[in-house]
Amino acid sequence: MWLNRDIVSIGDFTKEEIMDVIKRADEMVPYATSGHPRAPLANKIISTLFYEPSTRTRLSFESAAMRMGAKVLGFGSLESSSVAKGESLSDTIRILNGYSDAIVLRHPSEGAARLASEFSDVPIINAGDGAGQHPTQTMLDIFTIWKETGKVDGKHIGMIGDLKYGRTVHSLSKALSMFDISLYLISPDELRMPKHIKKDIEKSVPVKETRDIESVIEELDVLYVTRIQKERFPDINEYNKVAGSYSIRPALLSKAKKNLIIMHPLPRVNEISPEVDNLPQAKYFRQAAYGVPVRMAILDLILRGE
Residue 201 Cβ, how far from ligand NCD at the closest point, in Å?
A: 19
Phi-psi category of 291—alpha, beta or left, where left has phi over 0 and alpha has psi -120 to 50? Answer: alpha
Closest CB to ligand NCD among residues 36, 48: 48
The answer to whether 43 and 166 are in contact (CB under 8 A) is no
Residues 6+ apart with CB under 8 A from 176: 142, 152, 157, 183, 201, 205
> Could you give the CA distance from residue 96 to residue 302 in angstroms, rounded to a whole number?
17
- Tell me which of 83, 252, 266, 289 binds ligand NCD, using CB under 6 A: 266
* 289 is a site residue for ligand NCD (CB under 6 A): no
* 128 is a site residue for ligand NCD (CB under 6 A): yes
* 67 is a site residue for ligand NCD (CB under 6 A): no
Residue 46 Cβ, how far from ligand NCD at the closest point, in Å?
A: 17
- Tell me which of 174, 227, 283, 295 binds ligand NCD, using CB under 6 A: 227
- Measure the CA dihedral 246/251/255/260, to 10°: 70
Q: Per CB under 6 A, which of residues 156..195 are in contact with ligand NCD?
A: 167-168
The amino acid at 251: A
Residues 6+ apart with CB under 8 A from 125: 6, 7, 61, 102, 103, 104, 105, 113, 136, 298, 302
* 137 is a site residue for ligand NCD (CB under 6 A): yes
> Could you give the CA distance from residue 294 to residue 60 in angstroms, rounded to a whole number?
9
* 295 is a site residue for ligand NCD (CB under 6 A): no
Going by C-alpha positions, the residue among 108, 104, 166 that lies closest to residue 138 is 166
Distances (CA, A) of 264 to 36, 182, 268: 28, 19, 8
Closest CB to ligand NCD among residues 56, 174: 56
Kindly write out the interface string for residues 35-64 of this chain, putting x where it contacts ligand NCD by CB under 6 A and - elsewhere: ---------------------xx-------
Closest CB to ligand NCD among residues 123, 128: 128
The CA-based angle 149-13-289, given to 5 degrees, is: 40
Closest CB to ligand NCD among residues 48, 137: 137
Instruction: Find how far residue 33's CA is from the centre of its chain.
Output: 21
- Tell me which of 135, 158, 265, 293 binds ligand NCD, using CB under 6 A: 265
DSSP codes, 167-180: HHHHHHHHHHTTSS
| Count of residues interacting with ligand NCD (CB under 6 A) | 10
Closest CB to ligand NCD among residues 252, 266: 266
Residue 112 Cβ, how far from ligand NCD at the closest point, in Å?
A: 14
Closest CB to ligand NCD among residues 168, 281: 168
Interacting residues toward ligand NCD by CB under 6 A: 56-57, 128, 134, 137, 167-168, 227, 265-266
